[in-house]
Structure 1
Amino acid sequence: MGSPKKNEESKGFFAAMSSGFSMFSNAMHRSVNGMLGYEGVEVINPEGGKDDAEEEAHRGRWRKEERDGYWKMMHKYIGSDVTSLVTLPVIIFEPMTMLQKMAELMEYSYLLDKADESEDPYMRLVYATSWAISVYIAYQRTWKPFNPILGETYEMANHGGITFLSEQVSHHPPMSAGHAENEHFTYDVTSKLKTKFLGNSVDVYPVGRTRVTLKRDGVVLDLVPPPTKVHNLIFGRTWIDSPGEMIMTNLTTGDKAVLYFQPCGWFGTGRYEVDGYIYNSSEEPKILMTGKWNEKMSYQPCDSDGEPLPETELKEVWHVADVPPNDKFQYTHFAHKINSFDTAPRKLLASDSRLRPDRYALEMGDLSKSGNEKSRLEEKQRAEKRTREAKGQNFSPRWFDLTEEVTATPWGDLEIYQYNGKYTEHRSAVDNSSSIDGGDVKSIEFNPWQYGNLSTE
């Protein structure tokens, strides 16, 4: 990290300043960065000062030699979009892919059911925005999901009557598409992340489009989430913040929700807090919302100045479910459910994320095998690309079609993929078939490839 002398100076500095930390926070930030000798290093304790600041500065999941070597490799990428630029070590991964992470929005899908059942147009947005906020407890995890292989899929069944499917539809740039449906709603997303690497942190911009259609009245809701910042990637305790506005617009009526995610200050000030209003189409506030994305959200009717109406009270609309204690990857019970074959439909697609050998090896705690399998899959992906280019063919997703629509987002234009309905037909045929192959579903070989004979072994 730095020379022993610098480390000793850093330790003495922290000890001398600990009693007046808040008064000298800006000076300390500059001093710590300077003594560590790395541009872009941030030393912030988001947990509210529970640990000594000097310990926090040098804490991390890396062994020193791994951390320093990785820093030397990554330094040249400062200021770049590293979404698919860098091969990362499995030590920072969780045993889940981005396609599975997309499914975590379905944990509190009952809120969308309530939105569909509600006759109050503003309460619809209260329920729907609470659903959108609910996934941020999953974003609190600091482990990185695996990047999906092109053509990889994830299926989920047996949860609230929902059928969920996601597919990796593009590799450069990395893009995923998802579709979920039950009797109350349909959910469609085209997801594309844009990043900016800043040294010891990375900014993540959600260049995506999320649409929810409530079936009873055909109401269409459009979601624009705030950007996310991952702090202390290499040095210190890694933590995540999502400061900025979340906007959900009822495209049918013009009503909208605007909620502000407070940025995390020194010693955790403001972290997790979310506040805002539900507005009518004339931009008049109707309902105020407040809470913390890691605890609960509440609402209360308000007047045109945004003040609570007399004789009304703040009511809870959602609270986070209990989580497993001391879980290695900070998983919720639902995250474990996503990885489980209990939520898999009959005759699971061979392209499903659960079947990835690198993901499964990491889940079993075998980092060496996980790293080897990850490298093998990435090489097979490159081999398939060479085969496809030699044939003069473009990759075509199986379950989603590229449309001619291009939508503008706050962080760039986005091509839209649309669910083509073929999976519904496939799943119906499988479920109605009396001849389902037996055997252990875990024994299915992971196979997202469109061309065969790609093994480099």
Structure 2
Amino acid sequence: MMNSQGVNQGEMAHTCRGTINLFTAHFDTEDSCGIVLTSGGRTYHLKAGSEVERQQWIAALELAKAKAVRLMGSQSDDSGDDEDGTASPADKSELHDTIKKLSLKLDDLSTCNELVAKHGVALQRSLSELDGLRIPCESGEKLKAVNERATLFRITSNAMINACRDFLELAETHSRKWQRALQYEQEQRVHLEETIEQLAKQHNSLERAFRSAPGRAANPTKSFSEGSLLTTKGEDSEEDEDTEYFDAMEDSTSFITVITEPKEDRKAENRTTGSVEWTSDNVLDSTSLVPQGPPKVKRRVRIPDKPSYSLNLWSIMKNCIGRELSKIPMPVNFNEPLSMLQRLTEDLEYHHLLDKAVHCTSSVEQMCLVAAFSVSSYSTTVHRIAKPFNPMLGETFELDRLDDMGLRSLCEQVSHHPPSAAHYVFSKHGWSLWQEITISSKFRGKYLSIMPLGAIHLEFQASGNHYVWRKSTSTVHNIIVGKLWIDQTGDVEIVNHKTKDRCQLKFLPYSYFSKEVARKVTGVVSDSQGKAHYVLSGSWDEQMECAKIVQSSPSSPSLDGKQKTVYQTLPAKLMWKKYPLPDNAENMYYFSELALTLNEHEEGVAPTDSRLRPDQRLMEKGHWDEANMEKQRLEEKQRVNRRRRLEACSRGCGAEEAEKEAEVYVPLWFEKRLDPVTGETACVYKGGYWEAKEKQDWHMCPNIF
């Protein structure tokens, strides 16, 4: 009629005649062998064959009742009536089944623990009563009670021990399976990560191949849309098909821009804030982006093809993780035949943007062109994954292009550790630019971070507008495995310190899982009152456009609670577009037309000019073995010069100050000054170079080559 097994919740809910619900049952002892069980208003009197058998039944019934209580409380449909636990359904995993079994065994242990505690207290009470007896005739009954409780305690303890044994056996049986399963999942995760990384590389490669494919449409408007600089609504949208939206930027510069017809917006705006006509269409007109007329001096259009040399990068880089890259002795195999001074000069490739900006009557329009110029300096880096030569201390590079570019540029390496270069540019069109850039680079194992430190200054003489900004962070990916590729990330703020106009640029990092196109740049130009005038968008390797804002309003908060600003604008105008690379560029380090001319031999330059650096010249000619030997010679010569400065300083000052003073180098053409705009100390051109060149008097130049 009855056994030690409980019933599941389903059976409790639909009982049949004669069923005893252990969830509400209560049982007690009647005599030495009798059991009284009360359930649902009914009482059952049961009799065991012996006292020991009665105690076994009581222990089993208490265990079964505890299971019934757990099942009703958990609201679970799983069966719990087997002491070993019930088997999982066939569609559940072995791991889930084992965990459930162990959980049931753990519950059994908990129940047995409660029973041991309960009966242990009763046993102690009986023993205390036995100790307090004074009448010998009562000792027989008390001893009998002690024996009964000791028997019950022993049975419960045995049940607990058996449950522990079963638990340990199950744990030992399945521990190896769990370890193998965990190891397999870890290996699968690593394999999945590698697969995703490889897919990202292939996606990036296909995207670049598409961008460089011949016959691709050159229509600026079409390119603007294809590049996802604006995200067009789908064909099934109820919105106007000509309406386009900017993807929102994050943080304070989040916005959505609606492109509308000029005439309608001008009418709408005239009723409120007045005219929104472009004031300098001739300046921002895309038809005059490229300078007209051939250069007066014919310059070279190619260099020797890059030779094929194999070298294990990991053998060199594996011990250099976390170190400053400039302190790692690198062979020329990883270089390009240009110095960092020449790379810095390449920032001037799209100087015509500043020449146009001179004629702007509006400072916010001028800011648009300055912002486009700041972005254009990254366009040469998209395929330029080779490392430029780290200049020797005192090395210089001049770019004397007054005839064809209308400017003169001078760079000097003013520090070696950390590597720092000072740069000054004068343009006959009415602007000047200066900067001191310190390159901080760290090898992180899978990628290389390059952080240019220092401010860039640009001043227009006629208006006095003084712009200051800083460069973004460059990251070279796949240093060890895969094809190298470079990305620009971070926020760049351009400030006009005269008018307090500002431009916030955001370089979006590339992500395989992002809907954004690679190398995307967005920005907003605002005046001193914080009113936005222009929206900028494009990509740092291709083009930049600006759209004039005619109205702005806050949008409804998104699901994540972020507020965006909706800008209603006129159609965008193309400000800058990258020049196509020369033919055979892939075999010439992906140099642009300007870069190909920078290391061209030129008469009259200073003896410290990068064009005269022997290891760089040998590398350009394809003699890499000789270039490596020459590079070692130059670096050793530089170390000898540093030791000489150290010895000279130690004679004139204390030994403790000698090491510090040895690093203090006095530049030849630049001097340290406190900048009143930024409050920073930086090297500024002090004059004399072009006068020395005209006289061909270079006696003051150090012998560094």
Q: Displacement, 1:42? A: 8.7
Q: What does 1:25-424 align with in structure 2 at a 5 Å threshold?
A: 30-31=190-191, 44-45=200-201, 48=204, 50=206, 63=310, 66-70=312-316, 74-80=317-323, 82-140=324-382, 141-158=384-401, 159-183=404-428, 184-266=430-512, 269-302=516-549, 303-305=551-553, 307-309=566-568, 312-327=570-585, 328=587, 329-341=589-601, 344=602, 347-392=604-649, 394-404=664-674, 415-424=681-690
Name the SS for the 2:436 alignment partner: strand
Q: Write the deviation string for residues 330-373 of structure 1: whole angstroms up to 9, x where unpaired.
A: 111111021223xx4x5110100011111111111111011111
Could you tell me whether the CA contact under 8 Å between 1:289 and 1:297 is conserved in 2? Answer: yes
Q: How many residues align?
A: 386
Inter-CA distance 34–240: structure 2 relative to 1 (3 Å threshold): closer
Q: Write the deviation string for residues 25-48 of structure 1: whole angstroms up to 9, x where unpaired.
A: xx988437789xxxxx99841753
Name the SS for the 1:176 alignment partner: strand
RMSD (Å) for aligned C-alpha atoms: 3.0
Q: Equivalents in 1 of 2:629, 2:460: separation in Å? A: 44
Residue range with higher mean Cα deviation, 198-207 or 163-172 = 198-207
What are structure 1's unaligned runs of at least 5 residues? Answer: 1-26, 36-40, 52-60, 431-435, 437-443
Question: Of the two structures, which has the highest relative contact order with CA contacts closer than 8 Å and spacing of 6 or more?
Answer: 1
Q: Displacement, 1:196? A: 2.4
Q: Write the deviation string for residues 407-449 of structure 1: whole angstroms up to 9, x where unpaired.
A: 98xxxx964111101224324545xxxxx9xxxxxxx9xx997
Structure of greater Rg: 2
- After TM superposition, the score normalised by the length of structure 1 is 0.77
Could you tell me whether the CA contact under 8 Å between 1:246 and 1:260 is conserved in 2? Answer: yes
Q: Equivalents in 2 of 1:181, 1:148: separation in Å? A: 22
Q: Equivalents in 1 of 2:199, 2:645: separation in Å? A: 46
Q: Equivalents in 2 of 1:227, 1:86: separation in Å? A: 20
**Which structure is higher in strand share?**
1
Name the SS for the 1:244 alignment partner: strand
Q: Equivalents in 2 of 1:111, 1:379: separation in Å? A: 42
Inter-CA distance 265–29: structure 2 relative to 1 (3 Å threshold): farther
Could you tell me whether the CA contact under 8 Å between 2:607 and 2:701 is conserved in 1? Answer: no
Could you tell me whether the CA contact under 8 Å between 1:168 and 1:175 is conserved in 2? Answer: yes
Residue range with higher mean Cα deviation, 388-397 or 123-132 = 388-397
**Which structure is higher in helix share?**
2
Residue range with higher mean Cα deviation, 134-143 or 266-275 = 266-275
Could you tell me whether the CA contact under 8 Å between 1:210 and 1:223 is conserved in 2? Answer: yes
- After TM superposition, the score normalised by the length of structure 2 is 0.51
The code of the aligned residue for 2:521 comes to V
Q: Equivalents in 2 of 1:119, 1:315: separation in Å? A: 18
Q: Write the deviation string for residues 256-281 of structure 1: whole angstroms up to 9, x where unpaired.
A: 11111111111895312111111111
Q: Equivalents in 2 of 1:118, 1:246: separation in Å? A: 22
Could you tell me whether the CA contact under 8 Å between 2:453 and 2:470 is conserved in 1? Answer: no
What are structure 2's unaligned runs of at least 5 residues? Answer: 1-186, 208-307, 554-564, 650-661
The code of the aligned residue for 2:581 comes to V
Inter-CA distance 389–99: structure 2 relative to 1 (3 Å threshold): same
The code of the aligned residue for 1:304 comes to S
The code of the aligned residue for 1:172 comes to H
Q: Equivalents in 1 of 2:439, 2:680: separation in Å? A: 10
